[in-house]
Structure 1
């Protein structure tokens, strides 16, 4: 056999195999990249949120100095620090101080929830006793013990959380630095980056546009329509509590702001029990003022501010917001306040696109 005979060329490699292998590499590298940035996912999330919310501010500043993108981004970042970061630090420090002071009063016996509860129950009319028995409050000693134990354990948990925050201060400031650093570049290069992501995403133009639009809408709706309203309601509630001489006004205000994020629960879960206690303890005028402020001012903030900040057409149904917010908090902690509704909005958007595709044929989503 002639060793110099021409050999047949190797069979051509299937493009499908090459494409499949490259797709596997893309997925593998993407998973590895996700694992690398996982410790800073919260910082990345809030960096994206800050860039989305302050993008109009950046564009207005850039319009005034069109050839200085870096300066416009730095000025916007400074505004984020002044408007958001610094007030959040001041509020957090004041809240921790108030919580420690309030907890100290509980430990010293200056604030005795058992005694206050007993006084409130004793001042209730006689005809209320059967109704209290039906809901398990006829045994005053057991109810007092349960209430005192619950409140005391809550403050211990808050103290433990504050201690953990102090221990992880380095990690917190590192994450804050990552958030601000990312916000700077997203403000400056966000439009270019979003265009590159849009081109790379394996979606039709209509699908891509619908998902991006829904993502931006729900971010703005969640922050502007929920957090801003929560801040205003908590601020008003705290001022009302302070004016009425109720101890721990800052704590109550923060609690009202937190509960206002949850539809169907709202601030009433805080001020209604306090108003009932004031009625029962004989502070009738304070209770009337608190109820009036709760209904006419605190409760109306949501109905007045939310449509102005968000608009009525961008709202997710309240029951969806409630379920996804609670589920998001359970899975992701505080960040779930944003992540839960965002996932819900994208879920609704993708199923709307899929439904339109089925109705109009498999070609495109209208």
Structure 2
């Protein structure tokens, strides 16, 4: 009599093989997926900060966008394009003017220094009476009024360090400018699809927080706008103070310099890169007392 195969035995023998195969397939899939995610992250990583800034800008200027949409009778894409283009013009035009002015001023200053055309008046008699530093300042000032090159020789390491710092600041400002250009473009895209972006943000918030996801998303939105107003307010105050100093010191094109200070303060670079060349210009061409007062201001 022929013996029938034991079904239970075959199943028991095949089950571990199937499990091993499934585990291997799952491990391979997870590994490939992890590798793809890692590669995608490496590709996107340089743009994460720009995308985040684009989202922040979109949230901050969304009320302006809504008003413009109403003005244009619901043309969302046109409103987003005009708004992004307007901010780009406001950002790029003063930057180009600043770059041109800086190059011209630095070139003029360098040529004047090499030709000996930079004249520094002798120090007033009252400088020696300054406490602690009076004699030192008077001696250096007197030497600079007669031989500027000789007076600057002991300060060459500091001048070199200052030059390197200015170069680093300029490089950082350039990188920041490029980032903000792309951020405004991305903000325009977010604004164009603001309804979908709003639903996506609230959906993610609900997934992370739960029932209070909408409240959390609204709080984040209000916080971004409040911080944006605060940054803008501080930037306006800094620009106004700098502009007042430019006008009192007689810096040519004070209005342009003030606008550049405003933009530089808004992008969190600070007014230093704008004010320092103006101070150097006043020291080189203006009254020393005015220059010192401008420096202190």
Note whether the superposition's TM-score is higher than 0.5: yes
Q: Which residue number corresponds to residue 150 of structure 1?
A: 158
2:7 matched residue in structure 1: 5
Task: Kindly state the Cα deviation for residue 233 of structure 1 after the two structures are TM-superposed.
Answer: 2.7
Residues 90 and 43 of structure 1: CA distance in aligned 2, closer, same or farther (over 3 Å): farther
Give the deviation of 1:57 after TM superposition.
1.5
Give yes or no for contact 1:237–1:252 (8 Å, CA) kept in 2: yes
Residues 194 and 234 of structure 1, relative CA distance in 2, 3 Å threshold: same
Q: 1:49 — aligned with what?
A: 56
User: Aligned residue for 2:83?
Assistant: 76
Structure (1 or 2) with the larger CA radius of gyration: 2
1:58 touches 1:76 (CA, 8 Å); kept in 2? yes
Secondary structure of 2:61's aligned partner: helix
* Alignment counterpart, residue 47 of structure 2, candidates 40, 49, 69: 40
Contact 2:112–2:118, Cα closer than 8 Å, also in 1: yes
CA distance in 2, matches of 1:64, 1:155: 49
Q: Is contact 1:51–1:186 with CA below 8 Å preserved after alignment?
A: yes
Corresponding residue for residue 298 of structure 1: none
Deviations 1:221-263 (A, max 9, x none): 554323553355335524533542369978899689868999x
Provide TM-score, normalisation by structure 1.
Answer: 0.49
2 CA distance for matches of 1:37 and 1:176?
17
Q: Superposed, which structure 2 residues align to 1:64-213 within 5 Å?
A: 64-111=71-118, 119=123, 123-126=126-129, 128-129=130-131, 131-132=132-133, 140=140, 145=153, 147=155, 149-151=157-159, 153-155=161-163, 158=166, 178-200=182-204, 202-205=207-210, 208=213, 212=217
Q: Return closer, same or farther for 1:41/1:151 CA change in 2, 3 Å cut-off.
A: farther
| Alpha-carbon distance in structure 2 between the residues aligned to 1:248 and 1:156 | 27
RCO comparison, higher one (Cα < 8 Å, 6+): 2
Equivalences, count: 264
SS in structure 2 of the partner of residue 119 of structure 1: coil
Q: Call closer, same or farther: CA 1:57–1:151 in 2, change over 3 Å.
A: same
* Residue 237 of structure 1: aligned partner: 242
Distance 1:181 1:205, change over 3 A: same
Match of 1:352 in 2: none
Q: Distance in 1 between matches of 2:267 and 2:186?
A: 27
Which ranges of structure 2 fall in alignment gaps of 5 or more residues?
A: 144-149
Aligned partners of 2:51 and 2:183 also within 8 Å: yes
